[in-house]
Chain A
Amino acid sequence: MFTANRGRLAAVAAVAVGAVVALAGCASGDPLDSGNTTDEGSATLVVGSQDYYSNEIIAEIYAQALEENGFTVDRQFKIGQREVYLPEIESGSIDVFPEYTGSLLQALNADAAGGTAEETFAQLQDELPDGLSVLDMAKATDQNSWTVTQAFADKYSLTDIASLADVTEPITVGGPSELETRPYGPTTLTEKYGIPIAGFTPIEDGGGPLTIKALVDNAIQITNIYTASPNIKSDKLVALDDPDALFFADNVVPVVSDKVDEKAADVLNAVSAALTAEDLVSLNSESVNDELSAEKIAAAWLKQANLF
């Protein structure tokens, strides 16, 4: 009995030591490196997208437009949030990525001044690391916004973000974890506008159906919804005005690596020139309300825009 126990103890110890060694092995590398980076020499363009359906549609439009013009495209979609994929673009393993001018600028430089669409775009060009550039931006914007329900806005006569200070009931902010620490997050609302925030409820579906339901159910009072979201219309939400440019202008823009040559750049610029804000809302609506795939939505838009 005694020896058997000791043998078992030894076995447990061996497993524990083995596990520690194995885990330590994992620790030295980049935890997100999948190991299959693309060949440097190949002419294939890697198109990436955020894990956000609207971004994926734009990425699919880029991909199909490039394919129409004879490029080979490797799709690396749904890479997650900016915090995850930004290092991938910087390391050059992705060549084309749909981005938003203001959000990208803030990610590159948290102290950036921002401003109008043109000002934001100019600052973004300065902040981009070597080897990366942005092509023409589209008119289409998909901005962050502090969003409330129409009923809540009517109750307190809310128009812009600052007017939230007049709300007399506790305000709970809901949204993905990163919202809590973003420069326009709840802390800034309190410090800049004196808006009392009762708490933060994480809802990790990135402004998806759970977030909308929480807002409509009044489980949370404000959240961050993108202005191109079809839910703003269909669920009677109000994106509060932002006169102080708390959120930067967020025009859709392709971020590209050095591998994107002039011909590819022309293709992407033609797409950007044609993409309007209304287009973006209707593309999003086709995804959310009609449940069409990104491929179909992108193909239909390219056909209708009569580009290639």
Chain B
Amino acid sequence: MNLFVDAFNWILDPANYAGPGGIPVRLVEHLVFTVVAVLLASLIAIPVGFLIGHTGRGRSLAVATSGGLRSIPTLGLLTLVALWVGIGLGAPYVALTVLAIPPILAGAYAGFEAIDRSTIDSARSVGMSESQIVRTVEIPLGLPLLIAGIRSATLQVVATATLAAYVADFGLGRFLFAGLKTRDYAEMLGGSLLVILLALALEGIFTVVQRLVVPKGVAFGRPPVDRARSARPGPGMDPAITKGNH
């Protein structure tokens, strides 16, 4: 018996597409849940990240806080919140939003910090106001890193959103729990594959978005090679070898 064959058969079985518990409904639920959780996290993390990135203040606090948030076990937090607000989607939203905040926050302030200081100083010297600098210089230039952060958050949330089914009749996690508890491993694996497919689809979308958000006239990605040449030799690095690179 090959589990993967069974899982693919399960995914392709038309009987699994009908009704409120069918694959299309679960996929849409899962997607909506992921999008909402990432949006909620963005609403919190992006303004804070921009503030930190622009002022340069509170960075170490943000690093420590988001590091702490990252270490919270999502299922534990979900259970704790559910004991407070009850079953339903409230607790999963809180838990998954907390999961999504750190990468978005890091992307937001790292995007600002990565901008060459002389660019911002030039903007200031031509008379731009602080808000103009943020809106027309820092946000566009920092956008690629912010999107990278949102992309990373989305990937984590879409994979972990299966936990919504722990306390609600919602999302692809239903297939995982039901399959596990009834020894229907084809259903369980099929559900997992659907999560993976959804994650890959979202990755594809973000790859395109990341290309689109690069402002005109800015090279995206790794800087040209000649910058690597000008790197100072690190401690312990043999100067002879560094010279040999020239």
Q: How many residues of A contact B (CB 8 A)?
A: 28
Interface hit among B54-62, B82-90, B143-151: B82-90
Chain A residues whose C-beta falls within 8 Å of the C-beta of B83 in the assembled complex: 209-210, 213
Task: Assess A177 versus B87: contact at CB under 8 Å? Given A202-B169, A203-B167.
Answer: no
5 cross-chain pairs, A with B, having the tightest CB-CB distances, nearest first: A178-B181, A177-B178, A83-B183, A214-B87, A27-B4
Whether A204 is near chain B, meaning CB under 8 Å from some CB there, is yes
Cβ-defined contact, A213 with B177, below 8 A: no
**Complex-state Cα separation, A210 to B183, whole angstroms:** 24
- Is there a chain B Cβ closer than 8 Å to A180's Cβ? yes
30 CB contacts below 8 A, A to B, read: A23-B4, A27-B2, A28-B2, A81-B181, A83-B180, A83-B182, A84-B180, A84-B183, A176-B177, A177-B177, A177-B178, A177-B180, A177-B182, A180-B178, A181-B178, A201-B87, A201-B168, A201-B169, A202-B165, A202-B167, A202-B174, A202-B177, A203-B167, A204-B167, A204-B177, A205-B79, A205-B166, A214-B87, A217-B87, A219-B86
Given contacts A201-B169, A210-B87, 6 further A-B contacts (CB under 8 A): A83-B181, A174-B87, A177-B177, A177-B178, A202-B165, A204-B167
A83→B169 CA distance, assembly (Å): 21
- A202 to B4 CA separation, bound complex (whole angstroms): 26
Q: Which of A200-258 contact B (CB under 8 A)?
A: 200-205, 209-210, 213-214, 217, 219-220
| Residues from chain A with Cβ under 8 Å of B4 in the complex | 23-24, 27
Q: Is the CB of A204 within 8 A of B166?
A: yes
Binding site for A on B (CB under 8 A): 2-4, 79, 82-83, 86-88, 165-169, 174, 177-178, 180-183, 185
Assess A200 versus B169: contact at CB under 8 Å? Given A209-B83, A219-B88. yes
What is the chain B residue whose CB lies nearest that of A23?
B4
- A35 close to chain B: CB less than 8 A: no
A149 nearest CB across to chain B (Å)? 14
Residue of B nearest to A86 (CB): B183
Which partner residue on chain B sits nearest A19 by CB separation?
B196
Select which of B3, B79, B86, B174 is within 8 A of A177 by beta carbon. B174
Instruction: Tell which of A181, A203, A204, A217 has the most Cβ of chain B within 10 Å.
Output: A204
Expressed in whole angstroms, the minimum distance between the Cβ of A94 and any Cβ of chain B is: 17
Residues of B within 8 A of A180 (CB): 178
Q: Is A7 an interface residue (CB 8 A)?
A: no
The contact string, 1 if C-beta is below 8 Å from chain B, for chain A 1-39, is: 000000000000000000000011001100100000000
- Report Cα–Cα, A212/B9, bound state, in Å: 37
* Shortest Cβ gap from B185 to chain A (Å): 6
| Minimal beta-carbon separation of A200 from chain B (angstroms) | 7
Main secondary structure of the interface of B (DSSP, over half): helix
A199 within 8 A of B: yes
Report the minimal beta-carbon distance from A203 to chain B, rounded to whole angstroms: 6
Residues of A within 8 A of B180 (CB): 83-84, 177
**Which residue of the partner chain B has the closest CB to A201?**
B169
CB distance from A22 to the nearest CB of B (A): 12
Residues in A whose Cβ lies below 8 Å from that of B87: 174, 201, 203, 210, 213-214, 217, 219-220
The answer to whether A213 touches B174, judged by C-beta atoms less than 8 angstroms apart, is: no
Q: In the complex, A209 Cα to B80 Cα: how many Å?
A: 10
- Expressed in whole angstroms, the minimum distance between the Cβ of A87 and any Cβ of chain B is 8
Closest A residue to B88 by beta carbon equals A219
Contact B3 A27, beta carbon cutoff 8 Å: yes
A24 vs chain B, min Cβ distance (A): 6
Please report which residues of chain A, range 175-193, place their CB below 8 angstroms from some CB of chain B when the two chains form the complex: 176-178, 180-181
The distance in angstroms between the C-alpha atoms of A217 and B181, with both chains bound, is 26
A213 to B79, CA, bound (A): 12
**How far is A283 from B88 in the complex, measured between Cα atoms in Å?**
31
Bound CA–CA A204/B175 (angstroms): 13
Which residues of chain A come closer than 8 Å to B169, judged between CB atoms? Answer: 199-202
How many Å lie between the Cα of A210 and that of B167 in the bound state?
Answer: 8
**Residue among B4, B88, B181 with max Cβ neighbours from chain A (10 Å):** B181
Residues of chain A with a CB closer than 8 A to B182's CB: 83, 177-178, 181
